[in-house]
């Protein structure tokens, strides 16, 4: 192993013992030495640049620096090492066809997944590299094909690789369930008590991080038995990823554009609001007026509840109610509760169908049963939100099917803040599923909430509403609380896909919860 000497008075030589910790470090490499391959050690071995045999075609200088100046750091990651810069000065000597290796050491304890990231100036972001953690040495190793890079180790709090594991019996084999790694990923799981390991494929989601914050994975019992007795129930484990299947646009919460110092949002408009103070924590085109689709329904339900209805009151369904929906969409395009004319159900069932399942006909039936004329109900919706300060919002019907129903991200955050003063709306909008039977026919109904974050996110979600129209794109409002009950509201309008809508809104919420914690 070659050690690097400091640049001093313009005289450069290879050092025969450990150089001082300060830098930068520089080494001249001859063509003959390059052909043999070697490893370069700098900053007391904190960073090693490993150049395999024959990877360099000619002589070159190599420089390694520790970056002391301030750099924008990714908000969602934890920096575990210093930032190092290496450069192969003769660009013609390395063509990038074969990878070189970099090892960086750190001295911090972290149970989260660690990777070396490089800073991409084109996107002003940090991008992860394929890495292997050598846990006993607190070292991360990666391959890369650059002549120059700024590098650092970051830990991702979205991915737990050291914790506990339990077992389950389902689809027997060397399988595991993970709330962090995508299905199809291959993990090596070590029992920390005896150092036995088993390689497993992720084929299911779980355990829920909200309920089991220290559980990294759960093992199918066939795999669990290879490293521990089933009688133990749970064991302390460490995970080494062998293959990570990237089946989603964002892997481990990181945008394809990389990890930045602020959220990455491609939706047409977005806002992040501190509910308690009213402070805007982040925004993009937050005052632009756009269609809001089914987000309309929260305002409609609030107006309905302001009429002080008896929710256990029976309502006879009329197919005429849903005919209002077909003024804007074809019958097969409308989210609806498949009721027959004359079917009887409670106002509560209709309310939950409207908020959990976004049923458009349920909204119209509630409007009819409110005691207000339909035109007066819509007028009340507009007057109510205007009184709250939502000056850019306009409703022409109560479901959101009309693209003429418009608002801004900021307006809708204001609306959400007011709407969630009602505990019924709080409860209904975050219910993952709702089941009921009609009163006369006893027909059973089961409704699933379309907000995937309610099913998979580790956040404490306290409010939610999805929306979609061709003209509106994918719209989403989610409200979440920290451990002290402090709430943030995120609104995204006009996302290009449902997946992006969920991912970007969740990123905003996590960003907001981190800010209000500081």
Residues within the annotated binding site for substrate?
465
The CA distance from 412 to 405, in Å, is 12
Q: Which residues pair with 25 in a beta bridge?
A: 6, 64
**For every residue of 425-491, which 3-state class applies, written as one string?**
HHHHHCCCEEEEECCCCCCEEEEECCCCHHHHCCCEEEEEEEEEECCCEEEEEEEEECCCCCEEEEE
Tokens of 306: 């302001």
Closest CA to 394 of 376, 377, 406: 406
Burial label for 6, CB within 10 Å (0-12, 13-18, 19+), is middle
Q: Tokens representing 477?
A: 């409002």
- Which 3 state secondary structure label does DSSP give 114? strand
Q: Report the alpha-carbon distance of residue 400 to residue 328 in Å, rounded.
A: 10
DSSP 488-501: EEEEEEEESSHHHH
Q: Which residues are catalytic?
A: 294, 297, 358
> Is-contact 472 494, C-beta < 8 A?
yes
Task: Give Cα separations from 7 to 16, 25, 64, 81, 125 (angstroms).
Answer: 15, 6, 11, 23, 30
- 8 A C-beta contact, residue 160 and residue 180: yes
Kind of pairing between the strands at 215-220 and 162-168: parallel
Handedness of CA 354, 357, 362, 364 (dihedral sign): positive
- DSSP letter, residue 76: T
User: Pairing between strand 197-204 and 175-177?
Assistant: parallel
140, two tokens: 């991360």
- The DSSP letter of residue 18 is P
The answer to whether 143 and 149 have CB atoms below 8 angstroms apart is: no
**Using only C-alpha atoms, what is the Rg of the chain?**
28
User: Annotated binding residues, as ranges?
Assistant: 465
Q: What are phi and psi of 33, to 5 degrees?
A: -70, -40
Provide the 3-class DSSP secondary structure of residue 413: helix
């Amino acid at each position: 192993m070659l050690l690097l000497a400091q640049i001093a008075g313009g005289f450069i030589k290879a050092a025969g013992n450990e150089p001082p910790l300060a830098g930068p470090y520089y080494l001249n490499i001859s063509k003959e030495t390059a052909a043999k391959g070697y490893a370069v050690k700098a900053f007391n071995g904190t960073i090693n640049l490993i150049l395999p045999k024959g990877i360099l075609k000619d002589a070159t200088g190599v420089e390694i620096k520790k970056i002391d100046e301030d750099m924008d750091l990714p908000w969602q990651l934890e920096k575990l090492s210093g930032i190092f810069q290496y450069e192969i000065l003769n660009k013609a000597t390395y063509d990038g066809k074969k990878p070189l290796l970099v090892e960086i050491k750190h001295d911090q304890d972290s149970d989260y997944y660690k990777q070396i990231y490089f800073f991409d100036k084109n996107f002003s972001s940090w991008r992860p590299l394929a890495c292997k953690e050598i846990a006993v040495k607190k070292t991360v190793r990666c391959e890369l094909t650059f002549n120059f890079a700024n590098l650092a180790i970051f830990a991702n709090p979205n991915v737990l690789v050291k914790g506990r594991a339990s077992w389950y019996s389902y689809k027997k084999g060397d399988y595991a369930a993970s709330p962090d790694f995508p299905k199809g990923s291959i993990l090596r799981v070590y029992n920390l008590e005896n150092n036995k390991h088993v390689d497993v494929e992720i084929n299911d989601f779980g355990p829920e991080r909200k309920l089991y914050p220290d559980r990294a994975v759960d093992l199918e019992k066939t795999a669990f038995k290879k490293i521990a007795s089933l009688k133990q129930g749970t064991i302390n484990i460490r995970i080494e990823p062998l293959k990570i299947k990237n089946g989603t646009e964002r892997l481990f919460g990181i945008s394809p554009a990389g990890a930045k110092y602020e959220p990455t949002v491609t939706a047409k408009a977005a806002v992040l609001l501190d509910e308690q103070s009213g402070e805007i924590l982040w925004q993009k085109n937050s005052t632009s007026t756009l269609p809001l689709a089914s987000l309309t329904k929260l305002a409609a339900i609030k107006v309905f509840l302001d009429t002080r209805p008896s929710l256990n009151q029976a309502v006879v369904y009329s197919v005429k109610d849903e005919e209002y929906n077909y003024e804007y969409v074809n019958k097969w395009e409308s989210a609806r509760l498949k009721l027959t004319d004359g079917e009887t159900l409670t106002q509560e069932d209709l309310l939950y169908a409207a908020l959990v399942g976004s049923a458009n006909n349920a909204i119209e039936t509630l409007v009819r049963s409110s005691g207000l004329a339909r035109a007066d109900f819509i007028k009340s919706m507009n007057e109510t939100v205007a009184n709250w300060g939502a000056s850019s919002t306009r409703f022409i019907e109560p479901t959101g099917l009309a693209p003429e129903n418009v608002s801004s991200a900021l307006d809708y955050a204001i609306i959400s803040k007011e709407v969630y003063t009602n505990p019924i709306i709080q409860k209904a909008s975050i219910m993952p599923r709702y089941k009921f039977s009609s009163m006369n026919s006893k027909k059973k109904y089961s409704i699933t909430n379309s907000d995937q974050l309610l099913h998979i996110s580790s956040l404490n979600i306290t409010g939610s509403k999805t929306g979609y129209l061709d003209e509106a794109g994918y719209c989403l409002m989610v409200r979440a609380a920290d451990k002290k009950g402090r709430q943030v509201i995120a609104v995204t309008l006009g996302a290009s896909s449902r997946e992006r809508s969920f991912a970007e809104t969740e990123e905003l919420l996590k960003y907001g919860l981190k800010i209000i914690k500081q």
